[in-house]
Structure 1
Amino acid sequence: MSFLALVIPLLKVYYVGLKVLLYQLFNESFTLPAFPKQNGRVAIVTGGVKGIGFETARHLARLGMHVIIAGHIDSEGQEAVKRIKAEYPHDKVEFEHLDLTSLNSVCQFVKSFKNRGLPLHVLVNNAAVMLVPQRRTKDGFEEHIGLNYLGHFLLTSLLLDTLKTSGSADSCSRVVTVSSATHYVGSLNLEDLQSSCCYSPYGAYAQSKLALVMFTYHLQQQLLTDGSHVTANVVDPGVVNTDLYQHISWPAKLCKWIVAWFLFRTPEQGASTSIYAAVAPDLEGTGGCYLYNGQKVKSADITYDEQLQHQLYHQSCDLVRIAERSR
């Protein structure tokens, strides 16, 4: 493995991170407006046990949604439910086991959810790992692409029929996917999504976040073609002080500890754009957007390449072993 293959992705990711931190230094965090109650609506939030996901689940529950927190550590999930109920006793919030590193677990989660006969109005694809050492999921995928992207790709695909039947012309169901500014420096290697050659945790993370943006745009186009009452948007939470940084180097951890208190967003601030995308009335019927700090912004040029979007979709279907939807 060449030295440059390791260093260049690292420098790119830290360059993007520095740009975002400078923006956050000189710009106020997006403040959520008051939203109408969401009584009777159902939401699933992956990775909702802590950080951005927890704050997203907490706010949606406060708005009256029936929130299902999906995660792979049951004790943390029950604790998250307890914390929300302690603050809002009448909220309907629960935890269900979901391991996004296992295709079988994703299928079992969807089967269990559908057996309950519940509608689904909001799916928040929030769970993620970042900068983990090279390792594989239960199905043999590189972990960033497996958990961050393919797990959510399969989950969304299997829940799409429920989302469609739950949406209506005046109240669309919504798919909200959390990406990252690192997608701007990501490269999509369709011949080696697994990052098996010249593995870099920085490059693998950026690629997984790039794939999420491209999947969202392709999904939105499919939904428009179908005339479905479902929208798909992707959000960028900024640089947020969460547990995602546990795998960074000790020097980087020291720098983070020094600057996090005045440059990083809090998890609540980081969740604001996800919540906005999930319930904002002014986004009703609007999809295919990249949202940052509560605003629509332009994503990386490569994300708008429709041919590459379709190639990624085709390969993703093969990897998770589902049939492609007709175009």
Structure 2
Amino acid sequence: MYLLILIIVFSVVVLLSVLMAPYIRKYVAGGVCLSQARLSGKIVLITGGNTGIGKETARNLAARGARVILACRSVEKGEAAAAEIRSKVSGAQVEVRELDLADTCSIRAFAQQFLKEVSHLHILISNAGVMMCPYTKTADGFEMHLGVNHLGHFLLTYLLIGLLKRSAPSRIVVVSSLAHNFGWIRFHDLHSQGSYNSGLAYCQSKLANVLFVRELARRLEGSGVTVNSVHPGTVRSELVRHSTVMSLLFTLFSFLLKTPEEGAQTSVYCAVAEELHSVSGKHFSDCTPAFVAPQGRSVKTARQLWNVSCELLGIEWD
């Protein structure tokens, strides 16, 4: 009797899921960038553009006529992504350059060569990231999440900010996450040497992204350069490869996840939407303004993180 009831309930759930699938998918897909803005003559730099939402962002912007430069740790994977984009977008201008955000020497070498060869930079999209990886350190001894997701992009932006200002109006888009809501900046143990939880380390780095954007926006007022952060949504991507549990859940509930193309929409929106030409220091999700956790709105924390970041990187950024 109980088995029969279980079978009936299961059958009803499956039937409802099938019937509701189109509506569920439409809801999960989220917002779409409706801007038809063209980017002919514009130069775009995307970190980690060889896969996932980074690749889809690159494809979209290349289709708008931009010259897109993919900054990737693996040049081989980057070239494969560039070839795929060119095969889908007629006349796409896509280039690949080597950049390892886990190594400040690589970041500096990349920026030095970039500044020699590129005369303008209109859009910088800080997209690359790591998620829930085992405890490891970058080449400079930073905890990997903080080092790649925050400090690597902090240094890259610092090195390219002059070019962005000279190319104004220009935009910076930083890919953060809803996970920032669960993060806290642990100034007493930034590199998780006292204790380590991969999920919390990821959340701290995503909160750092939001705080960086808010403080940078304040410092860029009147420069013609805007900076905003985005939550792309929960996207089917390689980011969860370090977590067996997350990988399993993503597989089981893939119909509830965004495709990379859907996940790229908010990054594209913040990069091109005409109505955002003077909007800066904000957070977006599904192509609309999104909630920022109280700890992500703290001016004091943002300034302290800025100063600590400069100290760790050995730079002065007034």
With structure 1 as the length reference, what TM-score do the two structures score?
Answer: 0.88
Report the count of equivalent residues: 295
- The answer to whether structure 1 residue 258 and structure 2 residue 252 are counterparts is yes
Unaligned 5+ residue runs, structure 1?
Answer: 1-22
Structure 1 SS opposite 2:173? strand
2:85 and 2:279 mapped to 1: Cα distance? Answer: 30
2:42 and 2:239 mapped to 1: Cα distance? Answer: 30
Residue 24 to residue 125, structure 1, CA distance change in 2 (3 Å): farther
Q: Which residue is 1:206 aligned to?
A: 203
Q: Which residue is 1:323 aligned to?
A: 316
Q: Deviations over 1:41-71 (max 9, x none)?
A: 1010000000000000111111001100000
Q: Which residue is 2:277 aligned to?
A: 284
Structure 2 SS opposite 1:191? helix
2:247 and 2:219 mapped to 1: Cα distance? Answer: 42
Higher mean Cα deviation, 175-184 or 29-38?
Answer: 29-38
- The answer to whether structure 1 residue 122 and structure 2 residue 117 are counterparts is no
1:269-308 alignment runs, 5 A limit:
269-308=262-301
| Cα offset, 1:28, TM superposition | 5.0
Q: Which residue is 1:13 aligned to?
A: none
2:162 and 2:219 mapped to 1: Cα distance? Answer: 13
2:247 and 2:302 mapped to 1: Cα distance? Answer: 35
Computing the radius of gyration from Cα coordinates, the structure with the larger value is 2
Q: Deviations over 1:109-132 (max 9, x none)?
A: 111110014200000000000000
- The answer to whether structure 1 residue 245 and structure 2 residue 240 are counterparts is yes
1:269 and 1:190 mapped to 2: Cα distance? Answer: 35
Structure 2 SS opposite 1:96? strand
Q: Which residue is 1:8 aligned to?
A: none
Q: 2:206 is matched by which residue type in structure 1?
A: K
| Cα offset, 1:159, TM superposition | 0.6
Q: Deviations over 1:62-88 (max 9, x none)?
A: 100110000010110111111111122
Contact 1:74 1:97 (8 Å CA) reproduced: yes
- The answer to whether structure 1 residue 180 and structure 2 residue 174 are counterparts is no
1:73-152 alignment runs, 5 A limit:
73-152=74-153
Structure 2 SS opposite 1:245? helix
Q: Which residue is 1:33 aligned to?
A: 34
Q: 1:314 is matched by which residue type in structure 2?
A: N
Contact 2:29 2:262 (8 Å CA) reproduced: no
Q: 2:177 is matched by which residue type in structure 1?
A: S
Q: Which residue is 2:68 aligned to?
A: 67
1:252 and 1:318 mapped to 2: Cα distance? Answer: 35
| Cα offset, 1:25, TM superposition | 8.0
2:47 and 2:26 mapped to 1: Cα distance? Answer: 29
2:214 and 2:25 mapped to 1: Cα distance? Answer: 26
Residue 28 to residue 106, structure 1, CA distance change in 2 (3 Å): closer
2:123 and 2:35 mapped to 1: Cα distance? Answer: 18
Contact 2:59 2:89 (8 Å CA) reproduced: no
1:259 and 1:230 mapped to 2: Cα distance? Answer: 39
Structure 1 SS opposite 2:70? strand
Contact 1:25 1:263 (8 Å CA) reproduced: no
Structure 2 SS opposite 1:235? strand
2:298 and 2:149 mapped to 1: Cα distance? Answer: 21
Contact 1:174 1:230 (8 Å CA) reproduced: yes
Structure 2 SS opposite 1:94? strand
Q: 1:237 is matched by which residue type in structure 2?
A: P
Q: Which residue is 1:215 aligned to?
A: 212
Q: 1:51 is matched by which residue type in structure 2?
A: G
- Percent sequence identity is 38
Q: Write out the 4+ residue segments of structure 1 that deviate beyond 6 Å after TM superposition.
A: none
Q: 1:253 is matched by which residue type in structure 2?
A: S
Q: Which residue is 1:155 aligned to?
A: 156
